[in-house]
């Protein structure tokens, strides 16, 4: 009987122990939370040194003097307000004051040609080309450079002034030839009354010729222009705008290729400038 009571007691003690252990394992422990205040922005001291000679931009150890605020979300430059995400090429352009290319509606950039480029333009022309053509062809071969709108305006003003001066010189040359023709007129009946005919010889050229007036070698446009320069040195004969445009014989027929083969009088027309043409009498005499 005593042994049975002892066993029952042990069983009860075991059950009580299991109950105590179960309660202790299910109990949740709470700890008071601690809040950490956010850090204040930290002022980074200015870094003073010269720009890197390799890149032209400050390196981490050698940077241009500046104030920056590190706030945990990036770096803000306190001097010019440019964020760290701004590309270095843009910053470098601003720093160096580089010419900003003028772009057209089609995305092309404006350049001035330093040499004549086939299918692009003549030397000195201001044209729009794609960025790829400029970078890969024109810039590498030093055939063009970027040009600003201010430079274009200055070039246009200079060009307009030069054109005005050339026009004035062309008008003076025309008047000079016309006056020379009037001085050569000895008889008023030489000129038709309608005023359409050209009267008076403005230029005489002597050449070797055969019995029937056939010239040895002929007279071409270049020879005529050279003779004009020699006879009227004060005239305006230079420039691409000056050219001999027409040669007609005494019967009013066009001379083939403007190459004179016989002695006689010829009507010659020369363009001296934009909208300025002069027509005069050229007399080819036997030498």
Verdict on whether the full-model pTM lies above 0.85: no
Question: CA-to-CA distance for 219 and 262, rounded, in angstroms?
Answer: 9
pLDDT of residue 21: 62
Domains, the chain, in order of start with CATH, read 43-98 (no CATH), 109-147 (3.40.5.10), 170-286 (3.10.430.100)
Contacts of 20 (CB under 8 A, 6+ apart): none
Contacts of 268 (CB under 8 A, 6+ apart): 203, 224, 244, 246, 247, 279, 280, 281, 282
**What is the SS3 string spanning the chain?**
CHHHHHHHHHHHHHHHHHHHHHHHHHCCCCCCCCCCCCCCCEEECCCCCCCCCCCCCCCCCCCCCCCEEECCCCEEECCCCCECCCCHHHHHHHHHCCCCCCECCCCCEEEEECCCECCCECCCCEEEECHHHHHHHHCCCCCEEECCHHHHHHHHHHHHHHHHHHHHHHHHHHHHHHHHHHHHCCCHHHCCCCCCCCCCEEEEEEECECCCCEEEEEECHHHHHHHHHHHCCCCCCCCCCCEEEEEECCCCCECHHHCEEECEEEEEEEEEECCEEEEEEEEEEEC
pLDDT of residue 283: 95
Contacts of 89 (CB under 8 A, 6+ apart): none
pLDDT of residue 33: 46
CA 230 to chain centre: 40
Instruction: Find, among 277, 198, 283, the residue nearest to 244 by Cα.
Output: 277
pLDDT of residue 90: 36
pLDDT of residue 187: 52
Buried b / exposed e along 44-73 (16+ C-beta atoms within 10 A): eeebeeeeeeeeeebeeeebeeeebeeeee
Residues of the chain with pLDDT under 70: 1-4, 16-105, 186-197
Question: CA-to-CA distance for 5 and 262, rounded, in angstroms?
Answer: 161
């Amino acid at each position: 009987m005593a042994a049975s009571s002892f066993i029952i007691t042990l069983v009860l003690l075991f059950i009580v122990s299991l109950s105590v252990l179960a309660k202790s394992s299910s109990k949740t422990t709470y700890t008071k939370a601690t809040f950490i205040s956010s850090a204040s922005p930290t002022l980074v001291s200015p870094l003073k040194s010269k720009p890197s000679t390799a890149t032209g931009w400050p390196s981490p150890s050698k940077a241009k003097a500046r104030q920056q605020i590190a706030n945990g979300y990036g770096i803000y430059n306190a001097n010019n307000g440019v964020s760290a995400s701004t590309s270095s090429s843009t910053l470098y352009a601003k720093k160096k004051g580089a010419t900003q290319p003028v772009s057209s509606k089609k995305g092309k950039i404006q350049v001035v040609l330093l040499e004549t480029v086939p299918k692009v333009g003549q030397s000195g022309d201001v044209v729009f080309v794609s960025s790829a053509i400029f970078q890969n062809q024109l810039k590498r071969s030093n055939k063009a450079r970027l040009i600003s709108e201010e430079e274009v305006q200055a070039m246009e003003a200079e060009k307009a002034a030069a054109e005005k001066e050339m026009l004035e010189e062309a008008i003076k040359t025309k008047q000079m030839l016309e006056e020379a023709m009037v001085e050569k007129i000895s008889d008023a009946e030489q000129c038709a009354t309608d005023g359409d005919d050209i009267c008076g010889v403005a230029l005489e050229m002597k050449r070797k010729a055969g019995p029937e007036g056939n010239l040895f070698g002929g007279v071409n446009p270049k020879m005529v222009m050279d003779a004009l320069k020699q006879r009227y040195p004060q005239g305006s004969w230079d420039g691409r705008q000056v050219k001999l445009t027409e040669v007609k014989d005494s019967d009013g027929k066009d001379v083939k290729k403007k190459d004179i083969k016989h002695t006689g009088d010829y009507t010659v027309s020369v363009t001296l400038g934009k909208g300025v043409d002069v027509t005069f009498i050229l007399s080819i005499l036997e030498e």
